[in-house]
Amino acid sequence: MTDERMPPPASPSRGPVSSAQGPVVEPPSVDVASAPTDSALPGAHRGGFRRELTQPLPVAPPLAVHPDPDEEASPDVRWIPPTPVLPRSAGWSLLFGALGLVLACFVGWGFPVGMIGVVLAILALRRPWEKREAAYWGLGLSIASLLYSAGWLWWAGTQGALVG
Question: Hey, where are the domains in the chain?
Answer: 104-158
Phi, psi of 107 (to 5 degrees): -150, 150
Distance CA 112, CA 91 (A): 18
Query: What is the pTM assigned to this prediction?
Result: 0.48
Reply yes or no on whether the pLDDT at 93 is more than 60: yes
Split at pLDDT 50, 70, 90, the class of 63 is low
CA distance 116 to 139: 10
Give the pLDDT band of residue 135 (cuts 50, 70, 90): very high
Residue-wise burial string across 129-164, b where 16 or more C-beta atoms lie within 10 A, e elsewhere? ebeeebbbbbbebbbbbbebbeebbeeeeeeeeeee
Q: What pLDDT score was predicted for residue 66?
A: 56
**Identity of residue 127:** R
pLDDT band of 142, cuts 50, 70, 90: very high
Average model confidence (pLDDT) across the chain: 76
The answer to whether 161 and 122 are in contact (CB under 8 A) is: no
Confidence bin at 18 (pLDDT 50/70/90): low
What lies within 8 Å, CB to CB, of 17 at 6+ separation is 10, 23
Contact present, 103 and 62 (Cβ < 8 Å)? no
According to the model, what pLDDT value does residue 114 have? 93
Which pLDDT band holds residue 47 (cuts at 50, 70, 90)?
Answer: low
The single-letter DSSP state of residue 72 is: -
Give percent above pLDDT 70 in the chain: 59
